[in-house]
Structure 1
Amino acid sequence: MQSIRSKGLQIPRLGFGTFRMPGDGCEAVVESALDLGYRHIDTAAMYDNEAAVGRAIKVSGVAREDIFLTTKVWHDQLEPGALVEAFKVSLNKLDVDYIDLFMVHWPSPSMHMAQVMTAMQSLLDQGLIRGIGVCNFNMPMLREAIDQLGAPIAAVQVEYHPFLDQSALLGFLRARDIPLVAHAPLAQGRATQDPVLTRIAAKHGATAAQVAIAWLLQQEGVIAIPKAQRRENQMSNLQSLNVTLDEEDRQLIAALPKDQRFVQPPFAPDWDAK
């Protein structure tokens, strides 16, 4: 498993997402993923599964230091005191001594960016987290956090898949040596049925899902965190590491529509803001 180095962290390029896996049922799913070889686990307070993820880590037999663990604070907890308290709740539920990457899950219009970043930095300074990240920030928010405030952002997580252009964001992040973590890398399942990806997959003896994940992982500075509840799908996603796309494949994928955003809650920021 290849990793990307960022702000002193080694982040495995293929992670395991746990969105929409609430409750105790998530425990066996994460145990299976760890057993198959996943070492990057992505959860969040909002997913309502941190306790189950923590138990899976405990019983997996995998050393804590060999697992890269991400969790996130929800957008209604970004006042500094609330953020720190929310972190403590997550740490307690996960039942670990530290979090590898603690991220703001979604921005809030009312957040005070400098105060948010200062609160995150305080957790970093105490050794309770190893890295700071943000999810679903638009470009003005990223410029403020990274360029104006100098926050040591170790990763930025956004929706990214073959049907959504993120070239401007990728250029911005690559210039600053910050990786992009792609959530919804299969476009919420749509990639598995796409005829172009299916045709490419047939050429490589792969699946359309494997092609979509391989396309992400073969880009500079991109990490993907697909989710899969069934063990056979977890294994299949891992096997995307064995798929090597050629220039013809990349051109076919480049020609797909790139304006399809599927994660668009009512509290999302203005994605077109410059």
Structure 2
Amino acid sequence: MTELDLPALGLGTSANDDFEECAETVKAALELGYRHVDTAQMYDNEAAVGEGIRRADVAREDVVVATKVHPDNLAYDDAKRTARESLERLGLDSVDLLYVHWPTSAYDPEGTLRAMDELREAGLCDHVGLSNFTPDLLDEARGILDSPVVAHQVECHPLFPQEELRAYAVEHGHSLVGYSPLGRGEALDDPLLTEIAEKHETSTAAVCLAWAFAQEALVPIPKATGDHVRANFDAQELELDEEDLERIAEYDVRERVIDPDSAAWNR
């Protein structure tokens, strides 16, 4: 397999580390119609995500399951060992998509990416992804990997639209998976997005997601629990018009929400 056709919307699970709440959220989302669930070693909820997948009345083969190797575990031997531990926690023989979470800490391009290739070759993941890379680091990784990069995951929302990385994804044929598509809530009170929401008689959250759905190659993965799971899913019914999209594109408010000092773009 060299291509991965990601559903238009995924379920993010960052910070959902209460076992029962996480498992029930995943179950509810899958039974509602979600077919892409994203977790990570860093989230400390892989076991709960796996339990939710088992509880749902949805066939495993119909769900794209993604997890990520922790930055501290990216040395060659650690990456291979902890990826297997992730599968044990998930209760799965393989994941559809395995990411390098951040190119920081123990990340070593040659060793880390060789481990990712070997994990794919061994059938422990179907596809390889990267997360929080810069264009230069993407170029480097693509030059080392035998596996195609099918997804690159970064913060992406109307207030931080990642034009360069979206164009890169289109050029190189992978999905740009957008985490924090609501800007960790920062976008919900934005004046322009609020105005557009009022125009369509909807929420600013729905506007953020509809903006993402309108972008080529962009797949938002909002984290949610409770009623927000359905509200995010229903946002797929909203279509922004060209005026809305142009106003957002020309907007002068740009805000990165997740910005650790160690991030590649700060080096």
Unpaired runs of 5+ residues, structure 2, are none
2: CA distance, partners of 1:97 / 1:147:
28
1: CA distance, partners of 2:262 / 2:91:
30
Q: Is 1:211 paired with 2:175?
A: no
1:110 deviates by 5.1
Q: Is 1:42 paired with 2:38?
A: yes
Q: Is the 8 A contact 1:136 1:157 kept in 2?
A: yes
User: 2:171 — aligned with what?
Assistant: 175
1:228 deviates by 1.0
User: 1:3 — aligned with what?
Assistant: none
2: CA distance, partners of 1:11 / 1:248:
28
Residue 7 of structure 1: which of 2, 9, 18 is its match? 2
2: CA distance, partners of 1:146 / 1:263:
25
1:169 deviates by 1.4
The superposition leaves residues 104-135 of structure 1 with CA deviations (integer Å, 9 ceiling, x where unpaired) of 11112653212211111111111110100010
Q: Is 1:135 paired with 2:135?
A: no
SS where residue 155 of structure 1 aligns? strand
Q: Is the 8 A contact 1:132 1:154 kept in 2?
A: yes
State the number of aligned residues.
Answer: 266
User: 2:11 — aligned with what?
Assistant: 16
The superposition leaves residues 45-77 of structure 1 with CA deviations (integer Å, 9 ceiling, x where unpaired) of 110110011111111121100110000011111
1:89 deviates by 0.8
SS where residue 126 of structure 2 aligns? coil
2: CA distance, partners of 1:104 / 1:31:
26
1: CA distance, partners of 2:54 / 2:240:
37
The superposition leaves residues 177-215 of structure 1 with CA deviations (integer Å, 9 ceiling, x where unpaired) of 111000010000122222211211122222111111110
2: CA distance, partners of 1:128 / 1:237:
31
- Residue pairs, 1:51-130, within 5 angstroms: 51-108=47-104, 111-130=107-126
SS where residue 106 of structure 1 aligns? coil
The percent identity for this pair of structures is: 39
Task: Report the TM-score when normalising by structure 1.
Answer: 0.92
The superposition leaves residues 134-165 of structure 1 with CA deviations (integer Å, 9 ceiling, x where unpaired) of 10011211010114655411100001111114
Residue 253 of structure 1 aligns to which amino acid in structure 2? I
Dislocated runs of 4+, deviation >6 Å: none
1:238 deviates by 0.9
Unpaired runs of 5+ residues, structure 1, are 1-5
The superposition leaves residues 83-111 of structure 1 with CA deviations (integer Å, 9 ceiling, x where unpaired) of 01110110000001110000011112653
Q: Is the 8 A contact 1:162 1:258 kept in 2?
A: no
Residue 134 of structure 2 aligns to which amino acid in structure 1? N
Residue 240 of structure 1: which of 211, 235, 242 is its match? 235
Q: Identify if the C-alpha distance between structure 1 residues 95 and 149 changes in structure 2 by more than 3 Å, giving closer, same or farther.
A: closer
1:243 deviates by 0.8
2: CA distance, partners of 1:185 / 1:7:
27
Residue 16 of structure 1 aligns to which amino acid in structure 2? L
Residue 61 of structure 1 aligns to which amino acid in structure 2? D
Q: Is the 8 A contact 2:75 2:106 kept in 1?
A: no
Q: Is 1:252 paired with 2:247?
A: yes
1:255 deviates by 2.9
Q: Identify if the C-alpha distance between structure 1 residues 143 and 57 changes in structure 2 by more than 3 Å, giving closer, same or farther.
A: same
Q: Is the 8 A contact 2:180 2:222 kept in 1?
A: yes
2: CA distance, partners of 1:188 / 1:205:
22
